[in-house]
Amino acid sequence: MRHAPLVLASASPARRRLLEQACIPHRVQVSGVDEDAWRDPDPLQLVLALARAKAEAVERDLVLPEREQACGVLGCDSLFVLDGAAYGKPRDAEEAISRWRRMAGSWGELHTGHCLLLVVAEAAEPGSKTPLPLLATVTTRVKFAELSDAEIAAYVATGEPLACAGGFALEGRAGPLVERIEGCFSNVIGLSLPLLRRWLA
């Protein structure tokens, strides 16, 4: 895997930026998986299943350039859990405000499922079997600051929470609203770079 290019099966700009900032060469191919159609009462299993579904959807349609004999396909999915309830992106500003009123002063957990598949060109290894996928869920605990209604409304008015799992972007305007992080920092943004480093090594 060390020399195989990486294909990110995600439309997330935050995940692309993480890979760019870490100088990990990659290209993007969006999976098209309908996340809303998936259900599982266990958020850790749900994000893992969605990560795998995204990676496998891209793998099925992937055509390797002639210069490539293999590549890795990375699928990820994130979900925020607060007081036992799982949250994706808020539907609208009203929902984002209601959620932030519960989040303020509280701890939550951000779960990200990761799936890495190795795609090998048939010409490179005729008859070779596709290796089993690498699968992992990484969890990071997040402590939010005590906030006034005015501060919450001002943040939601930026529109940022509506595009993020959990309704906040740690790397964006929500940075000052988060007091503590326990666990992997990049995981909250979209994927665990330490996990990916171990896999790619």
Catalytic machinery residues:
77
Q: Which residues are CB-contacts of 124 (< 8 A; sequence separation ≥ 6)? A: 69, 70
Asked if 71 and 61 count as a contact pair (C-beta separation under 8 A), the reply is no
Task: Identify the bridge partners of residue 133 per DSSP, sorted by sequence position.
Answer: none
Amino acid at 42: D
Neighbour count for residue 91 (Cβ, 10 Å)? 9
* Distance in angstroms (rounded) separating the CA atoms of residues 114 and 54: 10
